[in-house]
A and B are shown apart, each in its own frame.
Chain A
Amino acid sequence: ILSLQRVMKSIEFEQGWSVMETGVAKLSRILEELPEPPFLPEEYMNQYTTIYNMCIQKPPLDYSQQLYDKYSEVIATYNKDTVLPSLRNKFDEYMLKELVKRWGNNKVLVRWLSRFFDYLDRYYIPRRALPSLNVAGMKSFCDMVYQEVQSKAKDAVLALIHKEREGQQIDRALLKNVIDVYVGNGMGQMEKYEEDFESFFLEDTASYYSCKASKWIQGDSCPDYMLKSEECLKKEKERVSHYLHVATEPKLIEKVQNELLVVVAKRLIENENSGCRALLRDDKMGDLSRMYRLYHPILLGLDPVADLFKQHVTAEGNALIKQAADAATNQAASSGGVQVQDQVLIRKLIELHDKYMVYVEECFQQHSLFHKALKEAFEVFCNKPVAGASSAEILATYCDNILKKGGGTEKLRDEALEETLEKVVKLLVYISDKDLFAEFYRKKQARRLLFDRSGSEDLEKSILLKFKELLGGQFTSKMEGMVTDITLAKDNQISFEEYLSTNTNTKLGIDLTVTVLTTGFWPSYKTSDLNLPSEMVNCIEAFKAFYATKTKHRRLSWIYSLGTCHISGKFDQKTIELIVSTYQAAVLLLFNNTERLTYTEILEQLNLSHEDLVRLLHSLSCLKYKILTKEPMSRSISKTDTFEFNAKFTDKMRRIKVPLPPMDERKKVIEDVDKDRRYAIDAALVRIMKSRKVLGHQQLVSECVEHLSKMFKPDIKLIKKRIEDLISREYLERDSENPNNFKYLA
């Protein structure tokens, strides 16, 4: 029934279109802000229904296509007759305002018309794969209006931005809306915005800042320039948030950074008067922080800064080294003076490290580049010798001074000591010859432990823990063994004394304390064939018997050079207790039997080397305490001298220590370390070849260096020699085809 009705009510095109025209006209008036009542629902439905009816009619009365064309026509006409003229007669900011208005209007126009013509969107348009009403409408504006004005609009916008950059206020909301026009006309893509606006904006920005940069770099100091740059970057970021599209920010910042910071980087950073060097020199941490902040986002921007930082620290370190060396040569006469300089140097190096670590942490935000720079700087001067002593030795002496009695332990409090030890260990990281340090440390530790000169057992253990944490258990195993030995020795002594008291037939006549050491842990000491005084021989035998009861499978080697004796010297004036080394005691006890002895006689009776005897006699007759008188009374020992017990000797103290100046162990330590290194290199080479089977020469050498780097920096020539040696010992062979390669021989 209805279909009949419909047929009766078929609409002619002209008829239907005139209805639509009314609607369109009304819409235009509303958009032009003419007085016009808003659409009533009936009017709306009428528009919609008209289109609907015209489209559902059977062909040839199905007017879908004509209506679609008319839709586009309506919009195009409106743009041509109304929109464009209104824009053509305006300029600059007024033109922008009009554009924004027209853009808004267009959106309204398209939306309303789309709703009227909605039926087309449901069937006709998808079936023909035509652009939707919305797309067609927006495109019309884009092609007719946007295309014509976009370039002028862009110029107007850039002019306003320039104004704002020069400090004037502008209408930011307007700019934001204009930018929306560019973005909106991209129809979902950013192309229009990027090509028609952004690219020009970026270029304009670049030339603006290029100009500023050239001007400022002439006159401004580095800190001032940096402040200005920072301010500009901040303002540009704000600009984006106020009216530009967010995607522009990274591109904008890059351009600004490039002109203000990258192009002038060298001039700025290396400025003689106020650049990085000067800032470091004058401790301008704030300015350096700014420099870091500014160059951090720039690729490779921080490299020159880090480099200058490294140079500066290296120079400071070298200056300290030179200072110490100069002071040492000035005080070459008194050896005590050199010692003090060493210690002062270490303290100053620690201070230097603390100071610049703060820079790394605060100014440079813990950036790895700067950690590396600091490390490399310290590695340069921490490995320089001072007055003949290697840095390894100086540092070991420093530790010794803290740990021995009368050293740090009495002067500083526990926390301060712990802190100092921490810092010492930090310096150790920079020393490449760590094994050398270990050996010196071990020797001094041995002396502290054996002669009871250690200030605090806890500290001895504490520093070993720190070494272990940093350098691994292998580094500290021997040192820890030494500490354990001392503890065990004390228990052992108690058992020995019990043994003596229960075995009444062993009367020693002397109080004997023995410390048993595990050979591997302690530095190597040469045993000697000293002829002991008879009193002592008994003691040795007694202990041997005791020790045999404890264990059968160990051999005791006696190191008399490490012993201490307390002797009562019955001098004319008074009896004085002398604390001497065992060797010294052996010499003195000879005079119990004879008044005078010649050098040669003493030599024969004791079975010592010349070197040792000279030292001993010197300590007893030429230094502060002259227990023996020497003829002639010269200051040095000669083989023709004669010695006599000095009965006239006296001192205000009742007990004195007669020191025996230690032999210079430096040479021996270096020799021992060199020997160990040869073994270490051999072991590393074998280990590498065993796992790799075949390896090229260069690679083998470099891997070997890397393996050993934790403990020392091996000499390349030495490695090559060791390779040859291993070949001759048939651990390795040269590859017959490629003589540059080595093969592992199982």
Chain B
Amino acid sequence: MTKGAEKKQRKAKAVAEKKETTTTTTTMRETVKLISMEGFEFVIDREAAMVSHTIRSMLTSPGGFSESKDGVVTFPDISTPILEKICQYFYWSLQYSRGKETEFHIEPELTLELMMAANYLHT
């Protein structure tokens, strides 16, 4: 792995772990795992993931998922930096809806891909 990629990986994990508000004692169903095309795993709150309509539809389909399998979704079409940004967006969206009005900064080079991913995820 290149130095840049390593750095990114560590950063991604830090972000995910920082945002992880669940403790180890909660059940698996409180979180979902989103996997990028490179295989990076982002474990985020279920509530955050549900900001995406697509993910929400999947998680609430009847008769779909058993208790033991919490949502693990692979996105072979979404790169890691995009997926990372999207997870950040989920949390920012929750905060905004609770009244904390801050800006969400998007690096310009990510814009196109981010928009397409957002369309796909219906976010």
Of B63, B64, B74, B75, most buried by chain A (CB within 10 Å of CB) is B64
Given contacts A118-B57, A122-B122, contact A45 B65 (CB under 8 A): no
**Which of B54, B63, B74 touches A42 (beta carbons < 8 Å)?**
B74
Stretch at the interface among B20-28, B85-93, B98-106, B112-120: B112-120
**A108 in contact with B62 (CB, 8 Å):** yes
Report how far A111 CA is from B72 CA in the complex, Å: 21
Contact B58 A49 (CB under 8 A): no
Which residues, 104 to 144 on A, are CB-close (under 8 Å) to B?
108, 111-112, 115, 118, 122
Of all chain A residues, the one with the shortest Cβ separation from B60 is: A115
Instruction: Give the complex CA separation of A413 and B64 in angstroms.
Output: 86
Q: B73 is contacted by which of A41, A56, A115 (Cβ under 8 Å)?
A: A41
> Does A30 contact B63, Cβ atoms closer than 8 Å?
yes
Contact with A along B37-67 (1 / 0, CB 8 A): 0000000000000000010011001111110
Does B10 sit within 8 A of A, measured CB to CB? no
Question: Contact at B66–A38, with CB atoms within 8 Å?
Answer: yes
B73 and A45 contact, CB distance less than 8 A? yes
Is B69's CB within 8 Å of the partner chain A? Answer: yes
Known contacts A2-B112, A49-B77, A118-B57; is-contact A44 B64 (Cβ 8 Å):
yes
**A residues less than 8 Å from B54 (CB atoms):** 48, 118
Proximity bits, A224-251, B CB within 8 Å = 1, else 0: 0000000000000000000000000000
Q: B3: shortest Cβ distance to chain A, in Å? A: 21
B71 — which chain A residues lie within 8 A by C-beta? 41
Q: Is A558 interfacial (CB 8 A cutoff)?
A: no
Partner of A41, one of B58, B77, B119, B122: B58
Q: Which of A304-335 contact B (CB under 8 A)?
A: none
A78 within 8 A of B: no
The distance from the CB of A572 to the nearest CB of chain B, in whole angstroms, is: 121
- Whether A525 sits at the interface, judged by CB under 8 Å, is no
B69 neighbours in A (Cβ, 8 Å): 40-41
CA distance A39 to B72 in the complex (A): 12
Q: Which residue of A lies closest to B72 (CB)?
A: A41
Do residues A108 and B122 form an inter-chain contact, with CB atoms below 8 A? no
Q: Is the interface of A mostly helix, strand, loop or mixed?
A: helix
- Whether A115 pairs with B57 at a CB distance below 8 angstroms is yes
In the complex, the answer to whether A108 meets B58 with C-beta atoms within 8 Å is no
In the bound complex, residues from chain A placing their C-beta under 8 Å from that of B66 are: 38
A42 and B61 contacting across the interface, CB-CB below 8 Å = no
Q: Which residues of B contact A41 (CB under 8 A)?
A: 58, 65, 69, 71-73
Q: Are B63 and A108 in contact (CB under 8 A)?
A: yes
Known: A2-B113, A108-B62, A122-B122. A42 touches B73 (CB 8 A): yes
**A543 adjacent to chain B (CB < 8 Å):** no
Residue of B nearest to A45 (CB): B73
A2 — nearest CB in chain B belongs to which residue? B113
A52 contacts the other chain (CB 8 A):
yes
**Contact between chains at B63 and A115 (CB < 8 Å):** no
Are B58 and A45 closer than 8 Å at their CB atoms? yes
- The CB with the most chain A CB atoms within 10 A, among B57, B75, B112, is that of B57
**Complex CA distance for A481 and B122, rounded to whole angstroms:** 93
| A52 and B73 in contact, given A2-B112, A111-B61, A118-B57 (Cβ under 8 angstroms) | no
Nearest neighbor of B120 in chain A, beta-carbon distance: A52
Query: Do residues A45 and B61 form an inter-chain contact, with CB atoms below 8 A?
Result: no
Contacts of A108 in B (CB 8 A): 62-63
Task: Name, among A30, A41, A118, the residue most crowded by chain B CB atoms within 10 Å (CB to CB).
Answer: A41
Tell me which residues from 9 to 64 in chain A have a Cβ below 8 Å from any Cβ of chain B.
30, 38-42, 44-45, 48-49, 52, 56
Distance between Cα atoms of A38 and B74 in the complex (Å) = 18
Question: How far, in Å, is B9 (CB) from chain A's closest CB?
Answer: 20
Known: A2-B113, A2-B116, A48-B54. A115 touches B74 (CB 8 A): no
* Cα distance, A42 to B33, chains bound together (Å): 12
| B113, closest chain A residue (CB) | A2
Determine the chain B residues whose CB is within 8 A of the CB of A56 once the complex forms: 119
**Chain A 71-101 interface residues, beta-carbon cutoff 8 Å to B:** none
Nearest chain A CB to B66's CB is how many angstroms away? 7
Contacts of B58 in A (CB 8 A): 41, 44-45, 48, 115
Cβ A118 vs Cβ B122 within 8 A: yes
Which residue of chain B has the shortest Cβ distance to A123 in the bound complex? B119
Closest chain A residue to B75 by CB distance? A45
Residue of chain A at shortest CB distance from B119: A56
B62 and A45 contacting across the interface, CB-CB below 8 Å? no
Given A52-B120, A122-B122, A39-B57 contact (CB < 8 Å): no
Q: In the complex where A115-B57, A115-B58, A118-B57 touch, is A38 in contact with B122 (Cβ < 8 A)? A: no
8 Å CB contacts to B: which residues of A393-451?
none
Q: Is the CB–CB distance between A115 and B122 below 8 Å? A: no
Q: Which residues of A contact B64 (CB under 8 A)?
A: 38-39, 44
Q: What is the CA–CA distance of A49 and B78 in the complex, to the nearest angstrom?
A: 12
Cα–Cα, bound, A44→B75 (Å): 12
Residues of B within 8 A of A122 (CB): 122
- A45 CA to B73 CA in the complex, in Å? 8
Q: How far is the CA of A40 from the CA of B68 in the complex (A)?
A: 12
User: In the complex, what residues of B have CB within 8 A of residue A118's CB?
Assistant: 54, 57, 122
Pick the residue among A2, A49, A52, A112 that contacts B61 (CB under 8 A).
Answer: A112
**CB <8 Å contact, A115 and B112:** no
Q: Nearest Cβ in chain B — how far from A117, in angstroms?
A: 11
Residue of A at shortest CB range from B78? A2
Chain B residue nearest to A43 (CB atoms) is B64
Determine the distance from Cα of A30 to Cα of B69 in the docked complex, in whole angstroms.
19
Which residues of the partner chain A approach B112 to less than 8 Å between Cβ atoms? 2
In the bound complex, what is the Cα–Cα distance between A122 and B119 (angstroms)?
Answer: 10
Q: Which residues on the A side are within 8 Å of B116 (C-beta)?
A: 2
Which residue of the partner chain B has the closest CB to A52? B120
A111 neighbours in B (Cβ, 8 Å): 61-62
Chain B min CB distance to A58 (Å): 14
**Which B-chain residue is minimally distant from A30 (CB atoms)?**
B63
24 A-B interface contacts by CB (under 8 A): A2-B112, A2-B113, A30-B63, A38-B64, A38-B65, A38-B66, A39-B64, A40-B69, A41-B58, A41-B65, A42-B72, A42-B73, A42-B74, A44-B64, A45-B75, A48-B54, A48-B58, A56-B119, A111-B61, A111-B62, A115-B61, A118-B57, A118-B122, A122-B122
Question: What 3 pairs between A and B have smallest CB-CB spacing?
Answer: A115-B57, A44-B58, A41-B73
Kindly list 19 other residue pairs between chains A and B, CB separation below 8 angstroms, not including A42-B74, A44-B64, A111-B62.
A2-B112, A2-B116, A38-B65, A40-B69, A41-B65, A41-B71, A41-B72, A41-B73, A42-B72, A45-B73, A45-B74, A48-B54, A48-B58, A49-B77, A49-B120, A52-B120, A112-B61, A118-B54, A118-B57
